[in-house]
Amino acid sequence: MKVLKFGGTSVGSPVRMKKLLDIINPHERQIVVLSAVSGTTNNLVEIAQAYLEGDKAKAAGLIQNLRQKYEIFINELFSAPEFLEQGKEVIDHHFGLLTNLSNDLFTSIEEKLILAQGELISTTLYHIYLKEIGVPSVLLAALDFMKIDEDNEPIVDHITEHIEPLLSAHPDINLFITQGYICRNAFGEVDNLRRGGSDYTASLIGAAIRSEEVQIWTDIDGMHNNDPRIVNGTKPIAQLSFDEAAELAYFGAKILHPQSVFPAQKYKIPVRLLNTMDPKAPGTLITNDSEKDKIKSIAAKDGITAIKVQSSRMLLAHGFLRRLFEVFERYKTSIDLITTSEVAVSLTIDDTTYLDQIIQELNSFGSVDIDKDQTIICVVGDFGAEKHGYAARVLEALKHIPLRMISYGGSDHNLSLLLNTADKTEALRSLHNRLF
Ligand code: ADP
Ligand code: ASP
Ligand code: MG
C-alpha cells in the first residue's frame, strides 16, 4: 500500500483538487495525506496571533476574509446543490469554531486548535467531492491515530496500532484520505508536527503501515541541486540517499520537512518527490543507496546564532565539552554545528528561547561571544576522504566571502559552513557556478 501526500499548492484551488485524480489511482489501495489549502495555515497563524494579542476585532476580520475564500472555493468545487450544502456545513462548522474561540481564555491549546483547521477543512471538502463524483473513499481522522509524546516525538507503534484497525474495517475501499500535520500530544490535546509537517505525517504513516512507497507530491519536480527560490538554473536530482535527503531537509531545503526522512529511512521505505504540475517528470527517489563521486546539492538555513566560548581551562581539561554540552541539554536547545580548537569551541543553535540563560551559564567557562543573523550553508555529496579536491572547490568558490565556521568530516556526505546571512545569496550562487 502506498502513501501519497499532496502539499498546499497541490490542493490550492478547486481545479487542482479535481486534478488529483489524474495522479491518484482509485483502483489501487492507498492512503492520501492532504495539507491545508495553500496560504490557509499562514492565515490561521495570523488569526491565532491576533487572539494572543487580545485583538478580537482583528481576529474576526481575518476569519471573515478566510471564510470568504472558502465560500468561493466550495462554489467551484461542488456542482450539485446537495454537495454544495454539505460543503457549506463544513465551512459553518470550522469557521464557527474559529469565531467561538473569542469567548474563552486563549492559551496554546486554543492556538493549536486553530492551526489544525486547515487540514481538517481540506480533507473534509475533498472527501465530499469524491462522494459527489462517485469515487468511494474513507476519511480517516488523523487525530485518532497520529500521536506525539512528552518530547514531541511521534510514536510510530501507536500509529500502527490505531490505523491498522481503521484500514481493516474497510476491506472494499481503496482510497483513504487523511490530514497531514495534525496530531494529538501526550495530554490528548490537538497538536501539530510543526510547519511543513504533512511530509512528516506521510513518512510516519508509511513507516507505521510498512508502506511500499511514500510519494510527496508538490509544486516542483523533485529536490533541486540548490535553492530554486534564490539561484537560477537549478536542476532536479534523480536520486538521493536517506542521509543526504535528511541533511538537505534539515539544513533548509524547504521541499521536505526536516524530520520527515527518518521514519521512512528506519523501515527502508523509498520516498519519491514528485511534481503535481508535471506528474510524468521523474522527480527524486530517496533510498538507502548513495551515488559515489558526486556533489549532489546545496541548501541554506537562516536564523542561526553562533556562540564562541574561549577558555584557557579547556587546555588539558577532560570533561570540558561534556559540561559545556550539559548547559544546552538543560535548556533543551539542540546544537547544529560545532568546531573546536584547543582553547575555544564555536557552536550554533537556531532556537534562541533560552539564549540569555545559556550565555549566563557559559560565562562561568570563559569568555563568550555571540554572532546573530548567521546562515548555515550545507553542501551534500560524496565527501569521503579519498575524494580529495571537493572541499577545496567549495572553499575556492567562497574565497571572497567571510566564513565564520567550517565543519567537515562529521560525516562522509556533508560539508557545512557558517556565514553572515547578508552573504548567503552570493555564496549560494558562487557555489552553484563552481560546483555544477
Ligand atoms: P508543499 O506545500 O507541497 O509542501 P513546499 O512549499 O513546502 O510545498 O515545498 C516546495 C518548495 O520548496 C518549492 O516550491 C521550492 O521553492 C522550495 N525549495 C527550497 N529548496 C528546494 C530544493 N532544494 N529543491 C526543491 N525545492 C526547494
Ligand atoms: N499546512 C501546514 C503548513 O503550512 C503543514 C504542511 O503544509 O505541510 O505548515
Ligand atoms: Mg511543505
386-411 pLDDT, tens digit each: 667 888 999 999 999 999 999 998 88
**Does residue 115 lie within any of the structural domains?**
yes
Average pLDDT over residues 150-172: 97
**Does residue 268 lie within any of the structural domains?**
no
Q: Does one domain contain both 97 and 208? A: yes
d(CA 105, CA 353): 24
- Tell me if 241 sits within 8 A of 286, measured CB to CB: yes
Q: Tell me the pTM.
A: 0.94
Among 203, 235, 254, residue to substitute to test ligand 1 (most atoms within 8 Å of Cβ): 254
* Number of neighbouring beta carbons within 10 Å of residue 391: 16
- The contacts of residue 58 (CB under 8 Å, 6+ apart) are 50
pLDDT band at 86 (very low <50, low <70, confident <90, very high): very high
Instruction: Indicate if the pLDDT at residue 313 is higher than 80.
Output: no
Q: Does one domain contain both 157 and 69? A: yes
Kindly state the helix (H) or strand (E) to which residue 393 belongs, with its residue range.
helix 390-397
Rounded mean pLDDT of the chain? Answer: 95
CATH number, domain containing residue 27: 3.40.1160.10
Distance 256 CA to ligand 1 centre (A): 7
Is 198's C-beta closer than 6 angstroms to any atom of ligand 2?
Answer: yes
Nearest CA to ligand 1 atom 5: 255
**Does residue 242 lie within any of the structural domains?**
no
Distance 215 CA to ligand 1 centre (A): 14
The confidence score (pLDDT) of residue 291 equals: 81
The confidence score (pLDDT) of residue 115 equals: 98
Is 201's C-beta closer than 6 angstroms to any atom of ligand 2?
Answer: no
Q: Which residues surround ligand 3, an ion (CB under 5 A)?
A: 7, 196
Amino acid occupying residue 229: R
From 197, 218, 239, give the residue that closes a domain.
Answer: 218
Distance 39 CA to ligand 1 centre (A): 14
From 218, 248, 271, give the residue that closes a domain.
Answer: 218
Q: Does one domain contain both 172 and 36? A: yes
Is 196's C-beta closer than 6 angstroms to any atom of ligand 2?
Answer: yes
Burial track 399-417 (b if 16+ CB lie within 10 A, e otherwise): eebeebbbbbeeeebbbbb
Nearest CA to ligand 2 atom 4: 41
Residue-wise pLDDT tens digits, 175-212: 999 999 999 999 999 999 999 999 999 999 999 999 99
- The contacts of residue 352 (CB under 8 Å, 6+ apart) are 305
Among the residues of 78-137, which ranges form H helices? 81-100, 108-115, 117-132
Q: Does one domain contain both 53 and 179? A: yes
Give Cα 6 distance to the centre of its chain.
Answer: 13
Instruction: Indicate if the pLDDT at residue 102 is higher than 80.
Output: no
Distance 254 CA to ligand 1 centre (A): 5
> Quick one: which of 26, 28, 30 has its CA closest to 5?
30
Q: Does one domain contain both 189 and 322? A: no
Distance 36 CA to ligand 2 centre (A): 6
Which DSSP category does 155 fall into?
-
CATH number, domain containing residue 405: 3.30.2130.10
From 218, 241, 268, give the residue that closes a domain.
Answer: 218
> Quick one: which of 254, 258, 253, 359 has its CA closest to 305?
359
Among the residues of 210-306, which ranges form H helices? 242-250, 261-266
**Does residue 256 lie within any of the structural domains?**
no
Q: Does one domain contain both 195 and 52? A: yes
**Does residue 410 lie within any of the structural domains?**
yes
Instruction: Indicate if the pLDDT at residue 316 is higher than 70.
Output: no
Q: Does one domain contain both 160 and 303? A: no
**Does residue 103 lie within any of the structural domains?**
yes
- Ligand 1 atom closest to Cα of 216? 3
- Ligand 2 atom closest to Cα of 197? 8
Give Cα 148 distance to the centre of its chain.
Answer: 16
Give me the residues paired with residue 359 across strands: none
> Quick one: which of 44, 43, 37 has its CA closest to 11?
37
d(CA 65, CA 148): 32
Instruction: Indicate if the pLDDT at residue 385 is higher than 70.
Output: no
- Ligand 2 atom closest to Cα of 196? 8
Please name which ligand lies nearest the alpha carbon of 33: 2
Q: Does one domain contain both 322 and 178? A: no
Q: Does one domain contain both 213 and 338? A: no
Distance 274 CA to ligand 3 centre (A): 12
- Ligand 1 atom closest to Cα of 298? 23
Distance 307 CA to ligand 2 centre (A): 31
d(CA 30, CA 345): 49
* Higher-pLDDT residue of 289, 166: 166
Q: Does one domain contain both 312 and 208? A: no
The confidence score (pLDDT) of residue 320 equals: 85
Among 198, 203, 217, 256, residue to substitute to test ligand 2 (most atoms within 8 Å of Cβ): 198
Kindly state the helix (H) or strand (E) to which residue 59 belongs, with its residue range.
helix 56-77
Range of the domain at 21: 2-218
Q: Does one domain contain both 15 and 128? A: yes
Please name which ligand lies nearest the alpha carbon of 36: 2
Distance 39 CA to ligand 3 centre (A): 12
- The contacts of residue 69 (CB under 8 Å, 6+ apart) are none
For 322-360, give the DSSP string: HHHHHHHHHTT--EEEEEE-SSEEEEEES--TTHHHHHH
- Total domain count, the chain: 2
**Does residue 237 lie within any of the structural domains?**
no
The confidence score (pLDDT) of residue 315 equals: 59
Q: Does one domain contain both 13 and 127? A: yes
**Does residue 230 lie within any of the structural domains?**
no
- The contacts of residue 91 (CB under 8 Å, 6+ apart) are 67, 70, 71, 74, 121
The confidence score (pLDDT) of residue 147 equals: 98
- Tell me if 182 sits within 8 A of 142, measured CB to CB: yes
The share of the chain scoring above pLDDT 90, in percent, equals 89
Give how far Cα 423 sits from Cα of 374, 378, 393, 400, Å. Answer: 9, 14, 18, 10
- Ligand 2 atom closest to Cα of 36? 1
